[in-house]
Structure 1
């Protein structure tokens, strides 16, 4: 979904900008999908009476709502990330991606905390429904609409002027996407490969970490019931609560790391400097000399990405030997440090590369007018567009070196700017983020099939229900821990791919 939306947004000539219309429509569909998911039964009940037919239709509508959510939220994500690439110069690409990572971590943290409150008790039924899930969907939809609204109002986006190749069919878009994906520039291809192996490594952690914490507790620390007493407590709910605690700590560490790391890691604009920034005079000489040495050891983002993959591998490779709730919680929480870099590095590096490909000197246009842009906050009228087109045709449309240039012509008449393809390249990066999930699912399926094949199918009827799905054999290997171990190996491969990416500098 993201490459397709990105491709259409790249070609958009809407008076309201290239990204905002898609982002706003995607946010509206996402919010309505959330509300429909919360009130599916009530919505279906308007048309069908109680019975099996209503139950089946309710399930179908809920599933379709999830599909609509998955598609529409990808449109929001693609366009919001593209806005960072479009509007910021090279020197601020890393900072923009860092802020996106910070706010993403803050959103996760706030979301986990909101979920821990009894919203049904805090708010009346008329405010968000009568269940916890309904109130959560209302909060999510409102927050999404507010933040997208503020972004659409605040960002000064460029409007793309019409060109000869604007009319493209879905088939042409897909063909161009395939060609673009299979013929990526070397550095962008390297970034995508690091992202691929990085996400193969992260997949088991993101999907199974909370279950891993609860299973470690029940396997090694939970006391067995007295003989003759049936264990009827809510094991599934308890595992969820134990896992949620570790995820809250994970999100808190991610947020703190996202705030601190941008001040430690060198920005792209400083990468080629031959001098060390001078510390303030008020500092003592010893402190000044210490700061000067610290500046010289300041890593760049590629190096930080490489070390974050090695750190994640070092942490998760120990999973098979974790046998206490405390150590499992520490393992999950500490992964917040490398996760902060993984949420930041690929987008920051890709934004820099897209801008570099558009950072040549402004070229004068000879012959027919080429698509260009004009900066606006909300919209432009037809007269302004005509004036801008005339300026391009006469070669007077000067573009600043510090900003992204959209579709200007080189001296040889060929398109030298790929800035207009920001949505496509970010969509391709998303493909390299999505494919590892299929790989990770396949690997996990093999591991679970080998280590836990029908492990508790022959239990007696008096055994508690959770014994049928929860492995309590202390001497047997923990399947989730093995999945984390395999993920650690893939993260080492990602670190090597990042090292090779750095050699391309």
Structure 2
């Protein structure tokens, strides 16, 4: 629990961004087609940040460990960005254009910080746990993601301005304050309770980091088959997950507005109520996801109803696809909310099985390479810097997880541009 609890704090911050970022930017006056381009920050940061953080944390020789320095630095940046997001209007002094630009830039930096933190925390799990416990570790990480989502969307649904006025004057200010506090507390617990073995300093040649980064993308064919298959699946799955995460709240809000626009409420009031309805739907999604993360791993351990991880992943993707197709028939908030909640099952699997399979593959392959004795830290550093065997370099946890993140973010570019184009067409029609 102490190893993975930081992921709950991280996911709370992520829930605040994905669940309430789009309505917040729309409330500032940004067009929906441009909001889609703002969320290019996610795939862009994932394409750059996680691989770089993975490589350099694999090489880190700090006495505090390989991952801790990057975890602490990412947390500081995340909290600063959350603060600016919450208080953008106050910092900009009421200037509308400046407010929008500050919010957009803050979300970009926030995505970079969150991606760096996510990669470091995931790598820490692979580093600390043996192959036999990778499944349990990633299952607990999925549960923590569920807890973070439930907490984040619940807070978004509540009237925080009335309940906690001392934390801020607006809903977004209070949300970002709570997210910052939760992140600081949970990461502190993980860093204090988890032991890392520092790597002794090693001499490095100029350009070692650049060579490691370029070889990462030019030699992907040498990865284990299981890991390559996971990357291919993620490449297609995330075309669907990206719009779901960033527009789920807005989708329910639009259904709500369409059903109530003939009433006496103003457009602003309708959108506020619709956003709260969207928050409730995402809260239901988070509850289903958390419940699934507690129940589904039992099937992989059961001797009677044993289901393999690849089979479970396949079923979850089919369920997600069916739910997305049914959104075309949804005309009520209730039906739309049920579809959103259903996807919680698939989301729990996505946050568990791919990472479990990758972690287990890394550990098993590494142990097969060194059957007589464990690899020494000095040898590991030589491998990472490019002076040892290529496969040992590739089996560095941070590096592998960084490439996995790239397979998730590349389709997000496609999805973001497609969403922006669709929204622009509908804005022109209206």
Q: Same fold (TM over 0.5)?
A: yes
Larger mean CA deviation between 176-185 and 349-358 belongs to 176-185
Distance 1:204 1:364, change over 3 A: closer
Q: Is the 8 A contact 1:13 1:161 kept in 2?
A: yes
Q: 2:363 aligns with which of 355, 359, 366?
A: 355
1:100 paired with 2:141, answer yes
Distance 1:418 1:60, change over 3 A: same
Residue 20 (structure 1) shift: 0.7
Residue 34 (structure 1) shift: 1.6
C-alpha distance after superposition, 1:20-78 (max 9, x if no partner):
1111111111112222333345556xxxxx686xx665555444333322212211111
1:253 maps to which residue?
288
In 1, Cα distance between the equivalents of 2:265 and 2:98? 38
Distance 1:243 1:12, change over 3 A: same
1:201 maps to which residue?
240
1:372 paired with 2:376, answer yes
Q: Is the 8 A contact 2:234 2:407 kept in 1?
A: yes
1:423 paired with 2:398, answer yes
Residue 215 (structure 1) shift: 3.3
Please state whether the residue corresponding to 2:367 is helix, strand or coil. coil
In 1, Cα distance between the equivalents of 2:68 and 2:215? 23
Q: Is the 8 A contact 1:11 1:18 kept in 2?
A: yes
Distance 1:170 1:444, change over 3 A: same
1:116 maps to which residue?
157
Q: Is the 8 A contact 1:97 1:347 kept in 2?
A: yes
Distance 1:118 1:234, change over 3 A: closer
Distance 1:51 1:62, change over 3 A: closer
Please state whether the residue corresponding to 2:296 is helix, strand or coil. helix
Q: Is the 8 A contact 1:253 1:333 kept in 2?
A: yes
Query: How does 1:116-155 map onto structure 2 within 5 Å?
Result: 116-123=157-164, 125=166, 128-155=167-194
1:238 maps to which residue?
273
In 1, Cα distance between the equivalents of 2:63 and 2:429? 61
Residue 232 (structure 1) shift: 5.6
**Structure 1, unpaired ranges of 5+:** 45-49, 267-293, 366-370, 374-388, 393-404, 457-505
1:436 maps to which residue?
411
Residue 234 (structure 1) shift: 2.4
C-alpha distance after superposition, 1:265-323 (max 9, x if no partner):
24xxxxxxxxxxxxxxxxxxxxxxxxxxx725411111110111111122222222223
Structure of larger gyration radius? 1
Residue 223 (structure 1) shift: 7.3
In 2, Cα distance between the equivalents of 1:185 and 1:179? 15
In terms of fraction of residues, the more helix-rich structure is 2
Residue 139 (structure 1) shift: 1.4
Count of matched residue pairs = 378
Q: Is the 8 A contact 1:120 1:130 kept in 2?
A: yes
In 1, Cα distance between the equivalents of 2:169 and 2:257? 33
2:13 maps to which residue?
none
1:336 paired with 2:310, answer no
2:354 maps to which residue?
346
Q: 2:105 aligns with which of 39, 50, 64?
A: 64
Query: How does 1:165-204 map onto structure 2 within 5 Å?
Result: 165=204, 168=207, 171-181=210-220, 183-204=222-243
Distance 1:88 1:213, change over 3 A: same
In 1, Cα distance between the equivalents of 2:267 and 2:314? 47
Cα RMSD after superposing both structures: 3.1
TM-score of the two chains, using structure 2 as the length reference: 0.78
Distance 1:39 1:240, change over 3 A: closer
Distance 1:155 1:231, change over 3 A: closer
